[in-house]
Amino acid sequence: MESNVTSDDQLSAYRLAYAMVFFYIVVPIVFLLFQIIHVILFMTTVEHGRRNVELE
């Protein structure tokens, strides 16, 4: 019984460690992707704004 308890604790610890690593790796990557997409969209909208001003 004790060995089962320790193995369950180890599994939960491994899951926690994997969750922490996943969080610390994936969240910054997703954040950077959103930042890049936002910058690209902003730049394209600025370009369209300049074109509209030039057309007027």
5 against 24, higher pLDDT: 24
What's the pLDDT score for residue 2? Answer: 55
Instruction: Give CA–CA dist 3/38, Å, rounded.
Output: 51
Give the model's pLDDT for residue 4.
59
**Start-to-end CA span in the chain (Å):** 80
Average pLDDT, rounded, for the chain:
84
Q: pLDDT tens across 29-54, in order? A: 999 999 999 999 988 887 777 777 76
Per domain, the residue ranges of the chain are 24-56
* Residues ≥6 apart with Cβ < 8 Å to 50: none
pTM above 0.85, yes or no: no
